Chains A and B, each alone.
Chain A
Amino acid sequence: MSALCFQLRQSPPQRLDCSPLTPERLRGLGLADITRLPLQTTRAAVAVGDLFTVTAGDPANIVIAGGSPRLDDIGAGMTMGSITVEGSVGIRAGAGMRGGRLSVTGEAGPYAASGMLGGAIEIGGNAGDFLGAPGIGAGMAGGMVVVRGSAGARAGDRLRRGVIVIEGDSGDYPASRMIAGTLVICGRAGAAPGYLMRRGTLFAESAAPLPTFLATGAADHVFRALLARALAPASSRAASLVARSGLARFGGDVAGLGKGELLIATTV
């Protein structure tokens, strides 16, 4: 069965709450029911049919053709199936996601993957601030996020579990307040990487550690080999950084609990 397709006809007149457009919430609904679903975030009512041309198909496989930075909460809370957005999305893409796969070919706004618990998110372009950070409640606690471009500030803030890969650069304070989990920055990390991190792992191609991160012995190759193998299908760039020998290791942030680690190829 082919995908259930939403073709965006025009730029939305207001920010939209797209969280109803997930595989589990659309299952069993007819085309007419789907077109009547409300998406508005203001007092002016907007239904799916007002903006999208819907082509019937398998709701486990959703395609949203034509993106807009006003499409908020895409894939929020989804548990299964796949959503592919051909274009860009607004804030909170994949927030609270528990399973399935969300692909965005364009850019994602702030708070993508916030509070995520499982599944996989791929963002083809850049991601905004607070990638995988706490939105409502805690930070990301499971699953995997790959950003092909760069990410804004505070990526992985209060990350608890799961893996975030940023193939480009990150903004300032990556892995701030990190609780555990893994953040891989294949490019340059912004200022103050791992600021107040408790536990967890931050890999970066280049970064300037704070004075509250202390040089430790080299990172063991067994853990890196396991992680590189797990990353390889999703991001060969991240896998090659993780597997690289000679990464400098720093423990910290000793201004806090201090059990986190930074693994840096080029210390600047």
Chain B
Amino acid sequence: MPDMIVNGIRIDESFAEAFDMRATALVITADTEAWAETAAASLTGFATSIIACGVEAGIDARLAPPETPDGRPGVRVLLFAGSTGELQKQLQNRVGQCVLTSPGSACYAGLEGVETLKLGDALRYFADGFQISKRFGGRHFWRLPVMDGEFVCEGTTGLTKSAVGGGNLLLMGRSIAATRHAAETAVAAMAKIDGAIMPFPGGIVRSGSKVGSKYKGLIASTNHAYCPTLRGLTMSALEEDIASVLEIVIDGLTPEAVAAAMRAGLASAIALGPEVGVVRIGAGNYGGKLGKHHFHLKDLLP
């Protein structure tokens, strides 16, 4: 099955199949780096998969004070959903419950777009008539009096309909520890790519899923072909030297961002070599008929 061997690691002749998604970006600032991070972590919590969370969200970048609209430390977060309506709903709920509530926070558009989603335009009503609208420098802000001062929030943020969700890498190793080490190394490299996030815990999924289930009402179930403990019992995709598989899922604002993240992850996992890291790298797809975007591993190798 392995068609290529790079630095002693078997690379599948396979591709990641990814889908069009709706996405937006926010810049969250606070008085300190730690509080910007806390607000962003809260906003992007429980946002691993649209299967049950509504959105997939994550931290894209940490911004130094000169890079943010108000000159304070900030964090850029990305949010992805299957529909504009769901993205709007999640944006409003999450900013309202996680950013508005966080001490000293402010929230700005992180993306310019012809189409927009409501941000402060929806949250302003919290101020019960004491909200203040300010439009200058080509931007529109809402000021909401809150108990620690004011929550400043941009009126709208941009929406993109050409975002991509579902880029992925499957890292297969001889031990749980070696596989985890390779996945952590890959995620660290991929996190540096702007415009892409890895929405799962620490960027890593250990329970990759297939479409469908033997049980009615379940739309996804364990990817049995990649479960090492089922090798021999079912149709397995794993050879005998593989004891653990971890997946990294990537969502990007553009196909190029997803490809760049996959390229960075492949390069850093391959650089570890088969003794320290993984022995095989693959990618998940559905035969190529469901998703518009195909990211072939052979095109992304270092």
Contact = CB atoms under 8 A, between A and B. Distances in A.
A123 to B, nearest CB: 19
B157 to A, nearest CB: 16
Contacts of A142: 135
A229 B136 CA distance: 10
A220 B152 contact: yes
A118 B230 CA distance: 68
Contacts of A261: 132
Residues of B in contact with A, size category: 10 to 19
B136 A144 contact: yes
Interface in B47-65: none
A223 B150 contact: yes
Given A223-B150, A226-B70, 4 more contacts: A182-B134, A220-B149, A222-B70, A229-B71
A254 interface: no
B133 A222 contact: no
B135 A226 contact: no
Residues of A in contact with B, size category: 20 to 34
Contacts of A199: 132
A220 B143 contact: yes
A156 interface: no
Nearest to B142: A223
Nearest to A225: B70
Contacts of A144: 136
Interface of B: 29, 69-72, 106, 130, 132-137, 139, 141, 143, 149-150, 152
Residue of B72, B137, B149, B152 with most partner-chain A CB within 10 A: B137
A220 B152 CA distance: 9
A226 B130 CA distance: 20
Contacts of B70: 222, 225-226, 229
Given A144-B136, A162-B135, A182-B134, A226 B141 contact: yes
Contacts of B132: 199, 201, 259, 261
Given A223-B143, A225-B70, A163 B152 contact: no
Contacts of B106: 222
A162 B130 CA distance: 20
B69 A226 contact: yes
A158 interface: no
A222 B150 contact: yes
